[in-house]
Amino acid sequence: MISFDLTDDQKHLHDRVRGFIQEKIIPLEEPGLPRQIDDAFRQELIALAKDAGLLSPHVPKAFGGMGLNHVDMSIAFMAAGYSLLGPVAMNCAAPDEGNMNLLYKVATDEQKERWLRPLAAGDARSCFAMTEPAPGAGSDPSLMQTTYRKDGNEFVISGRKWLITGAHGAGFAIIMARPESGEEGAATMFFADMDTAGIEIVRDVATVDRTFTGGHAEVEFKDVRVPESAILGEEGQGFRYAQVRLAPARLTHCMRWWGAAKRCHDIATDYARTRMAFGKSLMEHEGVGFLTADNEIDLHLSQLSIWHTAWTLDQGKRAGRESSLAKVACSEALDRVADRSQQILGGMGVSHDTVVAQIATEMRGFRIYDGPSEVHRWSLARRLARG
Amino acid sequence: MISFDLTDDQKHLHDRVRGFIQEKIIPLEEPGLPRQIDDAFRQELIALAKDAGLLSPHVPKAFGGMGLNHVDMSIAFMAAGYSLLGPVAMNCAAPDEGNMNLLYKVATDEQKERWLRPLAAGDARSCFAMTEPAPGAGSDPSLMQTTYRKDGNEFVISGRKWLITGAHGAGFAIIMARPESGEEGAATMFFADMDTAGIEIVRDVATVDRTFTGGHAEVEFKDVRVPESAILGEEGQGFRYAQVRLAPARLTHCMRWWGAAKRCHDIATDYARTRMAFGKSLMEHEGVGFLTADNEIDLHLSQLSIWHTAWTLDQGKRAGRESSLAKVACSEALDRVADRSQQILGGMGVSHDTVVAQIATEMRGFRIYDGPSEVHRWSLARRLARG
Amino acid sequence: MISFDLTDDQKHLHDRVRGFIQEKIIPLEEPGLPRQIDDAFRQELIALAKDAGLLSPHVPKAFGGMGLNHVDMSIAFMAAGYSLLGPVAMNCAAPDEGNMNLLYKVATDEQKERWLRPLAAGDARSCFAMTEPAPGAGSDPSLMQTTYRKDGNEFVISGRKWLITGAHGAGFAIIMARPESGEEGAATMFFADMDTAGIEIVRDVATVDRTFTGGHAEVEFKDVRVPESAILGEEGQGFRYAQVRLAPARLTHCMRWWGAAKRCHDIATDYARTRMAFGKSLMEHEGVGFLTADNEIDLHLSQLSIWHTAWTLDQGKRAGRESSLAKVACSEALDRVADRSQQILGGMGVSHDTVVAQIATEMRGFRIYDGPSEVHRWSLARRLARG
Amino acid sequence: MISFDLTDDQKHLHDRVRGFIQEKIIPLEEPGLPRQIDDAFRQELIALAKDAGLLSPHVPKAFGGMGLNHVDMSIAFMAAGYSLLGPVAMNCAAPDEGNMNLLYKVATDEQKERWLRPLAAGDARSCFAMTEPAPGAGSDPSLMQTTYRKDGNEFVISGRKWLITGAHGAGFAIIMARPESGEEGAATMFFADMDTAGIEIVRDVATVDRTFTGGHAEVEFKDVRVPESAILGEEGQGFRYAQVRLAPARLTHCMRWWGAAKRCHDIATDYARTRMAFGKSLMEHEGVGFLTADNEIDLHLSQLSIWHTAWTLDQGKRAGRESSLAKVACSEALDRVADRSQQILGGMGVSHDTVVAQIATEMRGFRIYDGPSEVHRWSLARRLARG
């Protein structure tokens, strides 16, 4: 039966996360030019969430998380995103959040103990090494250049990855590679400790965001040797697993950025209520009032889309169409919200006197990563073409 | 608990309406230049819905309707709107649908017997006489020029109304007027048979739509005398009742037009799947595929917004904010869907070889009536300003 | 040297056309539901322009026209478009205007005397038979199904054309056909009197517009025999000639519709200046003021784009890129102008109490005919891809 | 006579600037996280332009500039903007460029020698101290809080200014203040050396841009004493002078950002031509091709609008309407170009591996400074309201 009622538990969850962000996290936001989050600061944040009992909401309780389903995650993540530091503190930021989800679904029990448990506890970080520089795998993963070959009991991986989020400081990587002499369309995921011989961080890739712990790097894999046990799941299933990871990962981006966009809207609205111009508050100008109304519309529809997709996942469905649709709709709507908020703030909107400028700038990637809008539109069209 | 599950009853309702529209109504659509629906054709359509047990879904069973709540209405109306003739057949088109709702909520038992029962049965039609020519009441109802005065046991109403939908052929009018010497902000609603002395249809107002039975008219009220019992509800409560009528009325427009937009999308998609250009089907062109993807997004978000507002009304809330938001969002989104569908159809999209051109043309009013987008955006901003 | 100065002759031309439209043509516009323009009304209009010395601005003086270059045409056509009847009166409406241009550039002297002269004088009308029903030639002309074969001294044409504007009442058709057994990419244009045996108007295709004299028809060509002299230009050059016709034809659409959009803007602005709502004129509401500002921007940029393309054509260049660009930009911008004007007018904007509703409805085709926006965007991208 | 022909001199000017930017300036762009331009780097850049004879294109030759009119400036500035360092090198970046223009038009000969000459030579920098923190002067200059009073032969200025571009390192400020006890609407501009007692840079205001030499600062003026000769122009004319400064200043922003947007488009197009995805180059995907087509349209219309406004200024007109229109249209169009370019580049679009991310991020302010879009839309509407 169609319902939009939050249960008492959900309301309580919402209030707990909201209170945590307001009281513990927002005071840690520093004014001025945003700085790259490093591991020391991350550990400080993680400790706060652990104290508050809000670590790893998406991870099953058996592994130390809160064991939330997707709808409950949406409540927690949307509230967490209200500060860019929130998801870092609660250990539910990309790429770790998606990696934990992938490991829980695909890894063996032994692998879960070794790789998932420390991630879930916030003690370690991981990176997901899939994207490659041109002419390798980008939006089109079939172009993958990184290869592996069997050599005795080991696999030997060679290739170059790019824009690898969090590689600096990560404990391990999940590396996607295709067999050196293999058929097209087959790829395999491997675990590798980041200090394995042959793994080298070639350079930092400077980007417009600062909130991903460790930033983004270009990483070279030169004859990296891993044992048979390092295969995640089954050999040749890499692309399928990437999808397993991506559908919910897209959605959790929507959740976190929803919170950040809401923050922008609230800051802009507060400003518009008090800032005077031409004889009345900005808010009393239709030109500004309409911007806030459009923000309300975009936030509301994005929320409904997130809830619907989360609910679909909770029904045990893959939600490929729903998550593609939510990704396009939310990434574009929330970007508009941030942009309008900057506009309302005027000169302050491009300064770092509020977090709005940072959120607006960092959110730009959201329309690109985990499938740019164009890829998701095409995916929706292909589904429709099939009827 | 958040849920998007349709109950079995809802699925059954959906299938019944869908089947009715496909089998009984769509075959009656005539190709070519759209013609104004007249009362004879309306009666033919009404008879079909009566046979199918699908008359007046929104009216309580006690008055002969199906007694649906708002969520169930959304299911029935969205399916009905798939043909522009559907809501006429099922007796849930504007303005009668909104009038029935108003009467049920505000009229006395006696008034309900006299005015509501024949409406609900589809035997009579009504019109809602509120909008006036400049400088009278339009988006701003406080400019109302039509007045009434007490004369013995009677009220005497004078004024001119404009764009009165369905006045031609209506059995009665609900007339909004303000006291001749009264305070601002007070207005009263009166019933009057259309053949009451002093009521004259001055002219037909030609418009871009053809689907409102009886079209739209300019109506003069010259010393129209009605008894005390003709007051709908209480004297002086007219503006409040207008709001009672409008919040759900806005939403039912969204529901009906959703169905019409879905029809456009389906026709355009079918065409795109088979029409070849430049070596492949239109659908295989990204330029067209993206248009269909955007249609999917707009339809999906509109549906969620409709469901959410309907559910809010079913909780017994006024849903003023929700229905304003849904009105802006749906009217603009569904208009885009119709427009993109025309574009996909190419030359056929501006011909009447399909119903898409008619739907796209008629839907233009939806962004204007029952509050233009600008009024609803301002309403959303005012609520936000109050915090 | 970059200049936007109108010469005195250009100012005079502008004032003459503007005065003609205001004094002679606008008074002939009938209120109410728009009716199809027929040949009798057209002749009445033509006579007025002839009297005013404003017939066929685009035709060389040797053939009885005004002999204007493209920039001067832009001045005349933009002023003419201020009434939908203007271009009909001045004999510069589609498809005749484009056909005259094509004939002047490609036809033999003899053909010009026979076919062009009566067109230019406004005595005859013509149609351009290129578009076909699916699966024939639409946006992709290479799909053409209509064929011709040589039979002695004659050519025999067979096929079916669709959406043929002005076929009803036309004196002759220019028919595009490909050789029955010919190579792909070759097509030929033929003249044929409309009363030639084998030409049959199968049906009227009802569309959203009313202003094209004779409407649009589906026409069958059943073994239509024409002499060798009926070939326009050279055999096999049909597609090239279509391009010769199209680049300026696209631009003249922009000119005419610019005038119509300006009319909408002026009507809406006048209304907004006087109509009161919520204590001030509509124009004093930012929500409405911004709409008029956006209209000003769209009209201004469209005008510059038209002038630039016209100037490019006057330099003797083909202006393929410029006219594609202007077609996309103007068709979308002017459509927005008409749409915003409707919105400002509120309920009146969807009524036929002003011409705005008709203009907005009819303009919809402009984004589709002579190449839909998608085809022109792709054309721009292809040019860019070539570098 | 309408013309879009560049003279040979203009073509030569274009080629000179273009060559300078390509050969001397672009090689100095550093990859990676953008750094604030400081005075040392600025002097290095200035020296290059001086060598190339391209310093201060907008300044009359008598003061050491190139003495270009506005149309020629548009050619030089648009080419200069192709690198964010270009306008800095050519000494035509904001705020100095606008300040020089203001000084040339309003200052006395003596003031020009003292303040303009070193600016024009690139030896000094200046700042324009008008904007104030809330509740002071922002979009609405009438809210100005900074005051001055006469004290003997001196004026004493007190107040706080905010977002003062280039204050760090500037030789002098132009300070806008209103009389302490004066009538509303009157304000005066004063010169003051930045080392005058009482001027204190309170803090740096971190912003999203890095290209304004010296960044932006909050500056306190505490009983700052200046002589009578420090009044720029006449007392009480400050707001009028601000308009004198602003109309062309808005336009030169359009010119510079046009070049930057063109750079984005070129980088994205080059990438799209070679980067493969799903079996063909990105450019061969309609989804990407359409983005590049829209870039072409936006760049073309912006160029026409810039030329038209520049030409209007060259006719000796104030071009208030034209420059407002160009500001709204260009700032929004060029922002879209930068945004689409990021999207085409995918992950690279949010990295600093190209300058696109920086340009897109920095350009955000362009829709805000020198009048946000809302203020210019309202200004256009007010002009229209007056008829």
* Rounded Cα gap, residues A292 and A265, in angstroms: 7
Q: Over range D81-93, report the average pLDDT.
A: 98
- Residue in this structure with the two tokens 């006024």, named with its chain if needed: B318
Within-domain flag for A100: yes
Q: Would you call C16 an interface residue with chain B, using a CB distance cutoff of 8 Å?
A: no
Within-domain flag for D2: no
Residue numbers in B near C349 (CB within 8 A): 368
Strands (E), C166-215: 172-179, 188-193, 199-204
| Tokens at A197, concatenated | 């011989």
Q: Over range C15-23, report the average pLDDT.
A: 98
Determine what percent of chain A is predicted with pLDDT higher than 90: 95
Within-domain flag for A368: yes
What residue type is assigned to position D184 of the chain?
E
Within-domain flag for B334: yes
For residues B295 and B341, the answer to whether their CB atoms sit within 8 Å is yes
Whether D185 has a pLDDT exceeding 80, the answer reads no
Strands (E), chain A: 126-129, 147-151, 154-165, 172-179, 188-193, 199-204, 216-227, 276-277, 280-281
Does the distance separating the beta carbons of D1 and C293 come in below 8 Å?
A: no
Of B276, B343, B350, the CB nearest to C207: B350
Of C4, C5, C273, the CB nearest to D385: C273
C-alpha to C-alpha distances, B298 to B303, B305, C24, nearest whole angstrom: 8, 11, 46
Does the distance separating the beta carbons of A134 and D351 come in below 8 Å?
A: no
Angle (CA) B80 B85 B88, round 5°: 80
Q: Over range B157-162, report the average pLDDT.
A: 98
Q: If residue B265 lies in a helix (H) or strand (E), which one and from where to where?
A: helix B238-274
Does the distance separating the beta carbons of A285 and C287 come in below 8 Å?
A: no
What residue type is assigned to position A104 of the chain?
Y
Same domain, D331 and D244: yes
| DSSP assignment string, C332-345 | HHHHHHHHHHHHHH
pLDDT-based confidence at D266, cuts 50/70/90? very high
List the one residue out of A250, A363, A130 whose CA is nearest residue D350. Answer: A363
- Residue in this structure with the two tokens 């030089």, named with its chain if needed: D76
Q: Would you call B131 an interface residue with chain C, using a CB distance cutoff of 8 Å?
A: yes
Of D33, D205, D364, the CB nearest to A342: D364
Within-domain flag for A1: no
Angle (CA) A381 A375 B342, round 5°: 35
Q: Would you call C367 an interface residue with chain B, using a CB distance cutoff of 8 Å?
A: yes
Domain CATH code at residue D189:
2.40.110.10
Within-domain flag for C2: no
Whether D183 has a pLDDT exceeding 80, the answer reads no
* pLDDT, position B139: 87
pLDDT-based confidence at A186, cuts 50/70/90? confident
Angle, in degrees to the nearest 10, between helices B286-314 and D286-314? 90
For chain C, positions 62-101, list CB contacts with chain B under 8 A: none
Long-range Cβ pairs for the range A72-77 (8 Å, 24+): A72/A9, A72/A10, A72/A13, A73/A252, A73/A255, A73/A310, A74/A251, A74/A255, A74/A306, A74/A307, A74/A310, A75/A6, A75/A10, A75/A13, A75/A14, A75/A17, A76/A13, A76/A14, A76/A17, A77/A252, A77/A255, A77/A256, A77/A259
* Rounded Cα gap, residues D351 and D345, in angstroms: 9
> How far apart are the CA of B84 and the nearest CA of chain A, in angstroms?
24
For residues C121 and C188, the answer to whether their CB atoms sit within 8 Å is no
Prediction pTM value: 0.98
* pLDDT, position C139: 87
> How far apart are the CA of C154 and the nearest CA of chain D, in angstroms?
43
Domain CATH code at residue C16:
1.10.540.10
What residue type is assigned to position D142 of the chain?
S
| Tokens at B6, concatenated | 């349709």
* pLDDT, position C316: 95
Whether A182 has a pLDDT exceeding 80, the answer reads no
Q: Would you call D286 an interface residue with chain B, using a CB distance cutoff of 8 Å?
A: yes
* pLDDT, position B232: 97
Mean pLDDT of chain D: 96
Q: Would you call D267 an interface residue with chain C, using a CB distance cutoff of 8 Å?
A: no
Same domain, C150 and C168: yes
CA A80 from chain center: how many Å?
12
Angle, in degrees to the nearest 10, between helices C373-386 and D286-314? 90
Give residue-wise pLDDT tens across range D35-59: 899 999 999 999 999 999 999 999 9
Strands C147-151 and C126-129, how do they pair? unpaired
For chain D, positions 135-194, list CB contacts with chain C under 8 A: none
For residues A209 and A362, the answer to whether their CB atoms sit within 8 Å is yes
Same domain, C92 and C162: no
Q: Over range B145-150, report the average pLDDT.
A: 96
Residue numbers in A near C285 (CB within 8 A): 286
Q: Over range D204-213, report the average pLDDT.
A: 96
What residue type is assigned to position A139 of the chain?
S
DSSP code at position B24: I
Q: Would you call A276 an interface residue with chain B, using a CB distance cutoff of 8 Å?
A: no
CB proximity list for D38: less than 8 A, separation 6 or greater? D169, D213, D214
Whether A184 has a pLDDT exceeding 80, the answer reads no
For residues D379 and D302, the answer to whether their CB atoms sit within 8 Å is no
* pLDDT, position B183: 66
DSSP code at position B331: H
| Omega within 30 of 0 (cis) for the link into D95 | yes
Give residue-wise pLDDT tens across range B119-130: 999 999 999 999
Q: If residue C151 lies in a helix (H) or strand (E), which one and from where to where?
A: strand C147-151
φ, ψ of residue B181 to 5 degrees: the values are: -115, 30
Same domain, A265 and A215: no
Within-domain flag for D3: no
CB proximity list for D225: less than 8 A, separation 6 or greater? D151, D154, D155, D156, D157, D196, D197, D198
* Rounded Cα gap, residues D39 and D172, in angstroms: 15
Within-domain flag for C1: no
DSSP code at position D319: -
Same domain, B186 and B245: no
- D5, closest residue in chain C (CA to CA): C1
Last residue of a domain, one of C236, C271, C299: C236
Same domain, D113 and D130: no
* Rounded Cα gap, residues C147 and C156, in angstroms: 8
Whether D104 has a pLDDT exceeding 70, the answer reads yes
What residue type is assigned to position D237 of the chain?
Q
* pLDDT, position D184: 65
Q: Which chains reach chain C with 3 or more Cβ–Cβ distances below 8 angstroms?
A: A, B, D
Q: Would you call B283 an interface residue with chain A, using a CB distance cutoff of 8 Å?
A: yes
Strands (E), B96-250: 126-129, 147-151, 154-165, 172-179, 188-193, 199-204, 216-227
Same domain, A111 and A30: yes
ipTM: 0.97
- Residue in this structure with the two tokens 């290869």, named with its chain if needed: A147
Same domain, D20 and D92: yes
Give residue-wise pLDDT tens across range A330-361: 999 999 999 999 999 999 999 999 999 999 99
Q: Which neighbouring-strand residues pair with C3?
A: D3
> How far apart are the CA of A4 and the nearest CA of chain B, in angstroms?
5
- Residue in this structure with the two tokens 């709702």, named with its chain if needed: B101
Of D206, D285, D347, the CB nearest to A369: D347
Does the distance separating the beta carbons of A387 and B297 come in below 8 Å?
A: no
Choose the mutation target among B212, B350, B359 for the interface with C, i.e. most C CBs under 10 Å.
B350
List the one residue out of A229, A219, A17, A7 whose CA is nearest residue A126. Answer: A219
Q: Over range D354-381, report the average pLDDT.
A: 97
> How far apart are the CA of A221 and the nearest CA of chain D, in angstroms?
20
For residues B250 and B306, the answer to whether their CB atoms sit within 8 Å is no
Instruction: Answer with the residue of higher pLDDT: B183 or C334.
Output: C334
* Rounded Cα gap, residues C16 and D31, in angstroms: 60
**Residue C314 exposed, middle or buried by CB count within 10 Å (0-12, 13-18, 19+):** middle
pLDDT-based confidence at B247, cuts 50/70/90? confident
CA B108 from chain center: how many Å?
24
| Tokens at A216, concatenated | 């983004």
- Residue in this structure with the two tokens 């009716």, named with its chain if needed: C35
φ, ψ of residue B221 to 5 degrees: the values are: -115, 110
Last residue of a domain, one of C236, C262, C281: C236
Angle (CA) D381 D382 D386, round 5°: 115
| Mean pLDDT lowest among B173-182, C222-231, D219-228 | B173-182
φ, ψ of residue B133 to 5 degrees: the values are: -70, 155
* pLDDT, position C267: 98
Does the distance separating the beta carbons of C297 and D301 come in below 8 Å?
A: no
pLDDT-based confidence at D187, cuts 50/70/90? very high
Determine what percent of chain C is predicted with pLDDT higher than 90: 95
Determine what percent of chain B is predicted with pLDDT higher than 70: 99
* Inter-chain CB pairs, A–C, below 8 Å: 10
Q: If residue D292 lies in a helix (H) or strand (E), which one and from where to where?
A: helix D286-314
- C284, closest residue in chain A (CA to CA): A286
Q: If residue C110 lies in a helix (H) or strand (E), which one and from where to where?
A: helix C109-111
- Residue in this structure with the two tokens 């011909």, named with its chain if needed: B351
Same domain, A294 and A170: no
Same domain, B381 and B273: yes
C-alpha to C-alpha distances, D290 to B320, C140, D23, D349, nearest whole angstrom: 40, 18, 31, 17
List the one residue out of C229, C113, C119, C131 whose CA is nearest residue C175. Answer: C131
Give residue-wise pLDDT tens across range B336-375: 999 999 999 999 999 999 999 999 999 999 999 999 999 9
* pLDDT, position A181: 84
> How far apart are the CA of C340 and the nearest CA of chain D, in angstroms?
14
- Residue B28 sits in which domain range? 8-120
* pLDDT, position A373: 97
Neighbours of B272 (CB within 10 A): 24
Give residue-wise pLDDT tens across range A96-142: 999 999 999 999 999 999 999 999 999 999 999 999 999 999 989 88
**Residue A311 zone, left/alpha/beta (φ > 0; ψ -120 to 50; rest):** alpha
C-alpha to C-alpha distances, B205 to A302, B159, B209, nearest whole angstrom: 40, 17, 11
Same domain, A197 and A263: no
Does the distance separating the beta carbons of C380 and D297 come in below 8 Å?
A: yes
Mean pLDDT of chain A: 96
For residues D234 and D186, the answer to whether their CB atoms sit within 8 Å is no
Last residue of a domain, one of C90, C120, C150: C120
* pLDDT, position B31: 84
Q: If residue D79 lies in a helix (H) or strand (E), which one and from where to where?
A: helix D70-80
How many domains, in total, are found in chain B? 3
Residue numbers in B near D290 (CB within 8 A): 286-287
Whether C183 has a pLDDT exceeding 90, the answer reads no
Q: Over range A86-91, report the average pLDDT.
A: 98
CB proximity list for D20: less than 8 A, separation 6 or greater? D48, D49, D52, D54
What residue type is assigned to position A352 of the chain?
H
Residue numbers in B near A293 (CB within 8 A): 328, 376-378, 380-381, 384
Give residue-wise pLDDT tens across range A33-60: 998 999 999 999 999 999 999 999 999 9
Choose the mutation target among A280, A286, A292 for the interface with C, i.e. most C CBs under 10 Å.
A286
Same domain, D134 and D227: yes
Of A308, A381, A384, the CB nearest to B4: A308
**Residue A140 exposed, middle or buried by CB count within 10 Å (0-12, 13-18, 19+):** middle
Handedness of CA B286, B288, B290, B292 (dihedral sign): negative
Q: Over range B291-301, report the average pLDDT.
A: 98
Whether D168 has a pLDDT exceeding 90, the answer reads yes
Domain CATH code at residue B261:
1.20.140.10
* pLDDT, position C184: 65
Mean pLDDT of chain B: 96
Q: Would you call C384 an interface residue with chain D, using a CB distance cutoff of 8 Å?
A: yes
